[in-house]
Amino acid sequence: MRAWWKAAVVYQVYPRSFADSDGDGIGDLAGIAGRLDYLARLGVDVLWLSPVYPSPQDDAGYDISDYQDIDPTFGTLADFDALLAAVHERGMKLVLDLVVNHTSDEHPWFAQSRSSRSDPKRDWYWWRPRPNNWRSAFSGSAWELDEATGEHYLHLFSRKQPDLNWENPEVRAAIHAMMRWWLDRGVDGFRMDVVNFLSKDPALPDGSGAGAWTGAEHYVNGPRIHEFLHEMHREVFEGRAETLTVGEMPGVTVEEARRFTDPARGEVDMVFQFEHVQLDQGASKWDPRPLDLRELKASLGRWQAGLADTGWNSLYWNNHDQPRVVSRFGDDGEHRVRAAKLLGTILHLHRGTPYVYQGEELGMTNAPFAAIEDFRDIESLNHYAEAVAAGSAPEEVLAALRARGRDNARTPMQWDASEHAGFTTGTPWLAVDPNHVEINARAALADPDSVFHHYRRLIELRHTLPVVAHGDFTMLLAEHDRIYAFTRGHEGVELLVLGNFSGGTVTAEIPGWEGAELLLGNYAQRSEPAAGLELRPWEARVLRRLHR
Ligand code: NOJ
């Protein structure tokens, strides 16, 4: 039987920045509920909500202090139930963010754990008399001294995000019970935060090298990770139809991903991998460099080939951690609309499940942050403090934050041209991009040539053409530095997908496609027979031919 999610498209909502119903400047559940018709119009099948649980918000909700409730900023459990019912009424599903590599330091489990060395929950987290050399993803050591008991605890992210000890069976059982509680409530699955970090080498040896990911070889795809995920699958998902699980897995390889997503192994349905969003960086994410299109094709092509027979790909350009793709791999100036449509076309025609991040369907861009005071994200603020203290020029650090900072993704959703873009009647927690006067949902809905309607057509293609969801994939023109080209094939139907990643005109030399039917493009159709496969600036085309 074919899994339903192979023909589905997921839309990620970042609740803080989506829609604010009560004027406090922060998005909420009622705000999301008020915008469901917009999402239904786009045609997406699944909503994934970034965390809405009670949280001190040290890492924007990825620091959870209670797994079984809703943060008052976002609403109540009753608001959540109402949202879930409204999502289901529209034939969509809802997936929650599962953040169980770590909790907040304000979670009662950690409060107990830190209360004394002999507390029964001491072993639910990683306590050691001396730190090792592991580094936190948010700068500095991954260890924090707790004065009261004189030991250090591990935190791979902020010091307010202590790592749970998955070696302890009680921890695993508590998490499984919590997951079942949400599924029983009607939730349709989980996006699992850094889930391939759950298993650490219990000896916690020093890592080799230096820099941001020191220690990673001892916790990325660690010794018991497959066992833990299989156990979770068995304890939580077995016997439940129509769920979706996607594991966020920094550092995962194609070979590992095939194991994680092999249905016969019962672990997760698909994974988020990071290779393609690390191609435009040097030593670290704060060292941006231009993308080489050949590297992008080589990377995504390898993932397509690697998961062709076993396993399944997730497809994404954007999420709440990534800068906006039209600014990053496209053109957010003169050719913004065409570039946004091209990027959408290329992604959605790959084999795998596409994820659309809020505002991507409008071609939203990176934001014009002027000064460090304009940023909110702990990752950016910590990096700035550390780099400047180490002697980097503040302007250079700011330039990196502008290019790569996560706040680019988190500026409020642009609903209309009014003050604060229709996101809130109050003061937004992070400033709205001034370009909302031009780039907004109201304008996009009214314009049949908008990025929104292009995304709507892409989603419709996946729903209606089996070749899009189920066809095989062949990369073409691997060495071309401006054209992205591939074919898809399924039961006598073949598609050719072409994208010109440049502001000039280029011709694709691919014989046999002259005169093929144009299914979708981002230019008005030519009246003369398509002049070979000449592609205008940022042009994308999807062509179809049938074999009898
Ligand atoms: C990955 C999440 O996507 C990111 O936003 C978060 O900061 C880290 N995991 C830690 O939870």
pLDDT, tens only, 215-265: 999 999 999 999 999 999 999 999 998 999 999 999 999 999 999 999 999
Question: Are the C-beta atoms of residues 269 and 236 closer than 8 Å to each other?
Answer: no
Is the Cβ atom of 58 under 6 angstroms away from ligand 1? no
Q: Could you give the maximum distance between any two Cα atoms of the chain, in Å?
A: 80
Are 535 and 497 a contacting pair, CB within 8 Å? no
Q: Can you tell me the distance from the alpha carbon of 1 to that of 125, in angstroms, rounded to the nearest whole number?
A: 41
The number of the ligand 1 atom at minimal distance from the alpha carbon of 156 is 10
Classify each residue of 27-65 as buried b or exposed e, where b means 16 or more C-beta atoms within 10 Å of its C-beta. Answer: bbbbbbbebbebbeebbbbbbbbbbbbbbebbbbbbbbb
Q: Which residues are catalytic?
A: 193, 248
Mean pLDDT on 458-483 = 98
What are the tens digits of pLDDT across the range 5-42? 999 999 999 999 999 999 999 999 999 999 999 999 99
pLDDT of 178 strictly over 90: yes
CA distance 406 to 320: 6
CA of 99 to the centre of ligand 1 (A): 8
pLDDT, tens digit, 9 for 90 and up, residues 323-377: 999 999 999 999 999 999 999 999 999 999 999 999 999 999 999 999 999 999 9
User: 382 φ, ψ to 5°?
Assistant: -65, -40
Triad 34, 38, 190: Cα angle to 5°: 80
Choice from 16, 50, 57, 62 to test ligand 1 binding pocket (greatest atom count within 8 A of CB): 62
Mean per-residue pLDDT for 490-513?
96
Task: Please tell me the least confidently modeled range out of 7-11, 527-531, 538-542.
Answer: 527-531
Ligand 1 mean position, distance from CA 192 (Å):
10
- Cβ contacts of residue 469 below 8 Å, gap of 6+? 6, 7, 462
Q: Confidence class of residue 531 from pLDDT cuts 50, 70 and 90? A: low
Q: What is the mean pLDDT of residues 112-126?
A: 98
Q: Which of 259, 243, 241, 378 is nearest to 307 (CA)?
A: 259
Quickly state the pLDDT bin for 532 (edges 50, 70, 90).
Answer: confident
pLDDT at res. 1: 64
pLDDT of amino acid 530 = 52
Averaged pLDDT score across all residues of the chain: 97
211 band by pLDDT with thresholds 50, 70 and 90: confident
The pLDDT of residue 529: 47
**Closest ligand 1 atom to the C-alpha of 379?**
7
pLDDT in tens, 184-207: 999 999 999 999 999 999 999 999
CA 204 – CA 367 distance, rounded (Å): 40
Sorted by sequence, the CB contacts under 8 Å of residue 43 that are 6+ apart come out as 9, 456, 459, 460, 463
| Phi, psi (deg, nearest 5) at residue 268 | -130, 165
Pairing of strands 483-490, 472-476: antiparallel
Residue 526 confidence (pLDDT) = 61
Residue spans of alpha helices (H) in 268-370: 293-306, 325-328, 336-348
First to last CA, the chain: 26
